[in-house]
Each structure stands twice: as C-alpha cells, then as structure tokens.
Amino acid sequence: VPIRAGIVVTGTEVLTGVIADRNGPWLSDRLRDLGVDLAHVLIVGDRREDMAAALAFLREQGMRLILTSGGLGPTADDLTAEVVGEFQGRAMVLDEALEERIAEILRPLAKRFPNLDMDAIRTGNAKQAVVPEGATILDPVGTAPGLVVPPPQIAPPPQAQGQLGGKGESSRVVGGTTAETTAAEGPTVVVLPGPPRELQPMWEAALTTEAMCEALAGAGEYRLKVLRLFGIPESEIAETLRVAEREGVALDRLEITTCLRRGEIEIVTRYEPHAQDTYTAFEAVVRRRHADTLFSEDGSTIDELLAGLLRERRHTIATAESCTGGLLAARLTDPPGASDYVLGAIVAYANEVKSALAGVDPVLIERSGAVSTEVAQALAEGARIHLGADVGVGITGIAGPSGGTPEKPVGLVCFSVAGPGADQHLTRSLTLPGSRADIRDRATTVAMHLIRRALRQRS
Amino acid sequence: VPIRAGIVVTGTEVLTGVIADRNGPWLSDRLRDLGVDLAHVLIVGDRREDMAAALAFLREQGMRLILTSGGLGPTADDLTAEVVGEFQGRAMVLDEALEERIAEILRPLAKRFPNLDMDAIRTGNAKQAVVPEGATILDPVGTAPGLVVPPPQIAPPPQAQGQLGGKGESSRVVGGTTAETTAAEGPTVVVLPGPPRELQPMWEAALTTEAMCEALAGAGEYRLKVLRLFGIPESEIAETLRVAEREGVALDRLEITTCLRRGEIEIVTRYEPHAQDTYTAFEAVVRRRHADTLFSEDGSTIDELLAGLLRERRHTIATAESCTGGLLAARLTDPPGASDYVLGAIVAYANEVKSALAGVDPVLIERSGAVSTEVAQALAEGARIHLGADVGVGITGIAGPSGGTPEKPVGLVCFSVAGPGADQHLTRSLTLPGSRADIRDRATTVAMHLIRRALRQRS
C-alpha cells in the first residue's frame, strides 16, 4: 500500500486567488520522487476552524503524511504551528534556544532599519519560538522555523526517551525526545513557511530528520511517463485505450490521465516499477496508432524540441506575424539563449507594414486578401529575406471577434514556413476554435509544430 | 450569515503539478463579487473515492455551494458528472437532446478529420450526455456540458413538478422538472469543464439558472473596489494603512487585501454597503498619498486605459523590441479592435535586424552598446518612422540568465517612447528583478505605463 499524503496550503491571499500557489505543485513533484502518493491539496484561508477541518479531513482519509505551507509569521493571523500542535494533541512550549536563534537572525535587520519598533519584533519573535512539544524544529531560512510534528504519543515506552533526534545542524527535537511513532496513530505533519525560497531548502532539511524517516518508511517507488500528441481530438485517445485493452494490455496496472492543453494532448502515466512491461506495451499501442501525431515521448515540450532542433542544425529563424501580433516571436525567444537562433520578427498588423517591411506585394494582398495562403507564404519569404534567416515563418488570420465573412470566418489562420531548404515551403490553412485569445494562442502552437515539421522534412 | 462555498478542482495533471490550475483563482474572484465566502479549495486527482471524499468534506463543513472544474471529457477517467450525481442521490439518465447537441458540435470536427473513428466519438458523446436527473444542463462551449445539480430531493411537493427551468438558451433542466431546493438539504453543486475558456462563459450561464438563484438566495451584498498603483514598493501601502488608521478611518469595517502583481500594486477592498463612508475616507487617504502612482480607481487595467487613450486620441503605435521579443506587440494587439491603432512591430533580436529594419546606426550600437538608452531611443524613432506611426516604442535590455556585466547587469532594461509630439521623447532605464520570464514580463508592463505617460503629457 503506497503512503498517501495531503498538502494544506494556508493563506487568505492564496485562497482568494490574489497570489498563485507555487508550493503545492513543487511539493507534489517532491512527493512523487519519494514514491508518496499525493491524494489531496487543500487551500484554506487564515482561519483556525478551516485549517483544523482540513487537517482532520486528511487524517480521516488515511493520509500518513501532511505538509502545510504558510502561516508561520510573527503576526496574530499566523496560526499554523498552534493549530497543528492542537491537532497532534501536543502542548505548546517556548523553546528558548529557538527564541535566541530567531533573535540572532533579526539582529542585522534591526541594524539596517534603526527606527523599527523593536518591542513589536520581540513579541513576534517569542511567538514564533512557541512550538508543539516533541516536534522537530527545522532551522529558519528566513525568520520562520519549520516543524516536523509526529502524531500524538500513545503511552510511550521508556526506551523512547532520550536524545534521538538532532542529528543534523538544521533540525532538533523540542524537549530532547523524539515521538515514538510506532506506538502512535495518524499522520506526521510537516509545517513549512509560505515563501518558496524558504520552503524548498527546509523541505530538504525535513527529509533528513528521524521523524520523517519513520513517517516515510515503506514508501513505494513510482515511475511517471508523459507522451504528447498534436493534431488529433481527445476521443481518439479514448479509442486507443480501448484498443490497448482489447489487445490484452492490463491498463488497470497503470494510472493513465489524458488531457487536452493548448491544442495538444498529453498522456500522463504513473505506475509501479513491476508494471514496466505493461507500460511498454501500452506505449507501443500509442506509437503504432499515432505515429504521425506523437511528437514527444520523454515529456519534452514542443518549445524544447524546437529550440533543440534549431540549435542542433544551426538554423536561424525569423517570423512575420499578423494575427498573432508577436506571440510567436515572444514564444521563440522565451528560452534562455534564444538569441543564438532567433534573429527577430516583423509584426505586420497593418497591410502597409506587410508591404513596407516584409515586402508583400500590395497587388497580392488586393487580389488574394490579407488572410490567404498566398500572403502567408509571402510573409514567410519576407521574414526570411528581410531578416536574413534560414527559416522564415508567416502567419495571417482572423482572430476576431469581428472581421469574419462566410468565406473567411473568424478563426481562419494561414501559416507558411519558408526554408530551411532554398525552395522549401510548408503552407497550411486551418480554422481554429475559441475566443480571440484562444485563436491567437492556438495559432502560435500550430506554427511551432509546423516549423518543427519543416526542419525535420529537411533532414 | 454569509453563504460559504468550496471549490473542487479535479485532474491528476493539476494535482501532480503538471499543469497549473487557473480555475480556482478565477472562480474565487467571481464568488467574491457575489458576496459568497470561499472557504476551501480542494485539488484532487481523477479518482472516484478522492472526489467523493472532497465533496463529502465540503458538505460536512456546511458549504451551501460547491463548484467543480474538470473531469467532463469523453474518456473513462472523466468521472465528475457521475460522482456528483451519486453525491446528490440522483440517478444518471441519458439526455437525448443533449446527445444530439453534442453530436451537432462534433460534426464540423468530423468533416475536418475525415478518417476519424466515428464509433469512438459516438461512444464518448453518449457518455457525456448521461447526466444526473433533475440537473440543469449548461450548454457546452467546447464539447462538454456543464451541470447545476441541486441537493437530494426530500419528498418534493407536487407543485414543484413542471417546467420551471430552461429560461435561457444556455441551460435546461433534465426531465423537465426543477429540484425543490426549499425541501432539500445540502449544497448545490455546479459542475464545470476544466478548460478556462469553456468554464468561464459556462459559469456566467450557470448564474442565470433557477437552481443557482435558489442556491444563492440570501447571499449578502458586498461592494468591491480595486485601486491600482504603479511604481512604489508594497511597504508604502502598509504605511498608508497605518496613516489611515491614525486619522480615524475604521479599517476594521473594510476587508483590504494588497498585492504586488506584475510590478503593479493592487488594493482590493470588500465591504458591506453600510461601510461606504469608511471606504470613501480610506480611498481619499490613498489618493492624497499616492496621487502620482495611482493610475486606476475603477478597476481598469493599464491595458484597458492605454487602448482607450490610443483610440480616443486617434494615435497609431508601433514598437521595436529586443529583450521583450514581441511581448509588448502581443500585449498591445490583445484587445479586440487593436488593428485600429496598432500598426505593427519590429522584433530586433539580432543587432543586424536593429540596423536593417529599425534603422539603428551600427556605430551607435558599437559605441553605446545594444543595451543603452541611446539605442532604445533609436529603436523608438525607428519604429515610428519605418512603420509610419504616431508613437514609436523602443525596448532593449538584458533578460538573462547570462549576458550581464557589472556595469550592465541582468535585468537592466532601457525604454524609450517617441511621440506623439514631433520632438517628444520619454526615455528611462531600470534594473528589474526576477527570472528571465519575470524581467520580460515586467519590462512589458513598464513600457505600457511609459506609453500612457507619454500620451498624457501631450494632452
């Protein structure tokens, strides 16, 4: 049975969406690496009852591990340590060594801002040093200490007493005793601060503590594979799963999730090592049925693949964009080092700019219309020639909401990739669904895939 | 007593951090506008028991409203409708009208991909049309219908039978009856699809249904005001709150959240109508102390304000961008109708492109460096002249992670706005904090504010 874990993210500003939580996804990754099965993430405000309810829910659901983030500051609405202490049935005690440690951390701050209210700071400092008895303290990275709080002790045998924890420099058991978790029931709670730059090293420190080793004993190993496909509807994958099943692949040994994102389909599979053969058989079915649309077998994104290809082939690239308004150039220049292969772009929103900068013949625009495969091709050529690139990309379309006609509806986008071969052209036209923002975003993704195809055709 | 609500975000890919949830924060904002008190957000994988446990937890915690997102697709791991049906004690029934509606949506898709497996599509389609009895159906924006599922019916009185729902075109009650929520207990569940572009309009449609009106009856009235400031640190706002308090403004009658987002500070205040005078007094303190940095008092974003100004003054605009790689052009062309005032852009990533397309003198680049206020100014002039715009914007900087020097560190960005007056120039250089993505994003925001300032100077 895998160890199940839950995460409680605290903070009214996270709950209300004012700031996005970055800790849940990060901790989720770390748990996966440990073979721990994350079952629930709960986001709650800074309210005592709601936090207590979230903890109780996770205990009832059989979690052996609970991680909390946030609520460890010096102010009155920072409640986590106290709520967790009560949850684990442990008295709150002032740890004088911790109080001194926090004071030490605050000293340089006080020097830098001489007119700070030192009384207020000392009050907060003392508050942060009051921790559940028997908890292991994680040394602060900022000013807030973290905690590993074992489940309530049930009649600890005498040999459990004595200094067992405190092996490293970054953790120490309050009261000098470690909890006898073998005799206890319920989850171990790891209490971490909210800022990611504090939480992340303190999580690593938590892993080295005795209390965590006990909580994690028996965690299994999992593998995670991601396949990505482009250009087919999600229902095709549903059928592929049925085909695999008919062919005798034991899909119940795999945890498969499919999801449609930005026009791409992602198949995420999680499995235990003994199910490797099953996964291999499943992947073979996907590869057979979707050879033409499966573009990533190792989790790489189209952005990573394209950057790799451009770099490897030493090709330079430039775009001439109309409806995407620079989104493709922005996406191509997103990775560090993009200046090695991206020369630049022309955003030709007005027709005059298409002609003046990208050299598109005004007669062609007049004859075929600004949104046409002919103009897309001329834009691609223009980008290539005027920016001196190996590969030129042209995009022109109707992002809407207005501007559509029966022949050329909103969502119609024409694409062209010129190069890398001298006479090489890859031109397509598609009608994309969704809002203006969706159409612009999807068109950018389609262009990324077309560029990759053009580069691979050449090889 | 305010109505309390919970959100259940489903999807293994969200739980495992493979994709970030955008629905929780968005729904959280919408609930706040309705005066509904969001208490918990739970993120669960695509597992029946975990979803059921999350729903049961929210019911136990006294939520009157539960929103779910995700798990409505055609594949077998899309379980939400079924789990919610069972949770509400309602039988699952095939809605033939819905089946036909989904088939209609899929028809153009089938045309586009002629060799699709239509049997597979029909199977998925039928699955999506099986919904809890008595639920109100929300018309699909993509292919997945949404649902408003009332609590279990407890001995419905006869007058509750009959067509009460189905007022709009975008919702209809399954079986032609609406649930008698007055006789029922427990929360109403609103089931929405995962993709934000589908979820958002369907939430608006849900609000117009009878079932939701009943669920929301008695929600208090709240007012929500948003002030936006640019160019001051968050600690200044903390001081402003203290000043307001000292001047006797009863801040405890207001729920104030301040947050730093994309380099702007947002002050969100929620209050009951009887606290209007208090809010007015608070706003006056903010206006007095931050007259120069307060740019929005009615919730408008800088994007909206700038679009409005350009349109109103009938000025055209063009950009020449280096480190932002087209992000500014993409942002300017984001609003519908941007083609009325955006002519285009030059993304001059390579120095050769700066000279060839934007006319920046290579000697100037050699002498001052590509990242310099001089080159920013030349780019702005180049954009204005070469694209024939009233306003030209130049940006050049070091987005990192490499390329910094002691004199020109990573994060240094130079900005220039040329126009709208013939000799008008506004040039700045700033060192922006954060990652490559942060620097590119912040630089775009700074440019938006500088353009607005240039336009207003002219007036």
What is the residue-level pLDDT of chain A in tens, covering all 459 positions?
A: 678 999 999 987 778 766 678 888 889 888 877 778 899 999 998 889 999 999 999 999 999 999 999 988 777 678 899 999 999 999 999 998 898 888 888 777 666 666 666 666 777 778 889 999 999 999 888 778 999 999 987 654 444 333 333 344 567 777 655 444 444 578 999 999 988 888 988 998 898 888 888 888 766 677 878 899 998 887 788 889 999 999 999 999 998 877 777 778 888 888 888 999 999 999 999 999 999 899 999 878 899 999 999 999 999 999 999 999 999 999 999 999 999 999 999 999 999 999 999 999 999 999 999 999 999 999 999 999 999 999 999 999 999 889 899 999 999 999 999 989 988 999 999 999 888 988 999 999 999 999 999 999 865
Mean pLDDT of B405-416: 94
* Residue carrying the six token digits 């590969």: A391
CB-facing half-sphere around the CA of B137: CA atoms within 13 A: 29
- Chain B nearest-CA distance from A52, in A, is 11
| DSSP letter, residue B339 | G
Q: Which of A234, A333, A350 sits opposite B349 (nearest CB)?
A: A333
Helix axes B96-112, B118-128, angle to 10 degrees: 150
pTM: 0.72
Tell whether the torsion through CA atoms of B403, B405, B411 and B412 is positive or negative. Answer: negative
Best residue in B109, B322, B333 for a mutation probing chain A (most A CBs within 10 Å)? B333
- A388, closest residue in chain B (CA to CA): B353
Direct distance between the N- and C-terminal alpha carbons of chain A, in angstroms, rounded to an integer: 49
B113·A233 Cβ contact <8 A: yes
Question: What sections of A47-175 are H helices per DSSP?
Answer: 48-60, 80-87, 96-112, 118-128
**pLDDT value at position A180?**
43
Smallest CA-to-CA distance from B50 within B90, B85, B83, B17 is with B83
Residue B385, judged by CB atoms within 10 A of its CB (0-12, 13-18, 19+), counts as middle
CB A420 within 8 A of CB A454: yes
Report the alpha-carbon distance of residue A351 to residue A370 in Å, rounded. 7
pLDDT surpasses 70 at B301: yes
Token representation of residue B135: 């639920």
Q: Which of A235, A350, A434 sits opposite B121 (nearest CB)?
A: A235
> B188-192 and A65-69: which strand pairing?
unpaired
pLDDT surpasses 80 at B448: yes
Tell me which amino acid residue A438 is. Answer: D
Smallest CA-to-CA distance from B188 within B227, B156, B215 is with B215
- B399, closest residue in chain A (CA to CA): A336
| Alpha-carbon distances of B241 from A120, B4, B217, B252, B289, rounded to whole Å | 17, 28, 34, 11, 11
Report the alpha-carbon distance of residue A438 to residue B308 in Å, rounded. 23
- B19, closest residue in chain A (CA to CA): A25
B124 contacts in A (CB within 8 Å)?
A: 235, 238
| DSSP letter, residue A140 | P
| DSSP letter, residue B338 | G
Tell me which amino acid residue B8 is. Answer: V
Longest dimension (CA), chain A: 94
Q: Which of B43, B74, B353 sits opposite A344 (nearest CB)?
A: B353
- Chain B nearest-CA distance from A154, in A, is 27
Kindly report the backbone phi and psi dihedral angles of residue A344, in degrees, each rounded to the nearest multiple of 5, phi listed first: 155, -165
pLDDT surpasses 60 at B155: no
Best residue in B78, B258, B332, B349 for a mutation probing chain A (most A CBs within 10 Å)? B349
Residue A317's beta-bridge partner residues? A342, A391
Best residue in A59, A235, A442 for a mutation probing chain B (most B CBs within 10 Å)? A235
Q: Is the peptide bond before B108 cis (omega within 30 degrees of 0)?
A: no
**pLDDT value at position B154?**
61
Query: How far does Cα A441 stand from its chain's mean position?
Result: 19
Q: Which of A53, A266, A268 sits opposite B61 (nearest CB)?
A: A53
- A52, closest residue in chain B (CA to CA): B61
Report the alpha-carbon distance of residue B38 to residue B19 in Å, rounded. 23
B47 contacts in A (CB within 8 Å)?
A: 39
Smallest CA-to-CA distance from B345 within A25, A223, A358 is with A358
Note whether ipTM > 0.85 here. Answer: no
- A50, closest residue in chain B (CA to CA): B39
- B6-42 as b/e, with b when 16 or more CB fall inside 10 Å? bbbbbbbbbbbbbbebbbbbbbbebbbebbbbbbbbb
- Chain A nearest-CA distance from B154, in A, is 27
A386 contacts in B (CB within 8 Å)?
A: 356-357
- Cα-Cα-Cα-Cα torsion A17, A18, A19, A24, nearest 10 degrees, comes to -20
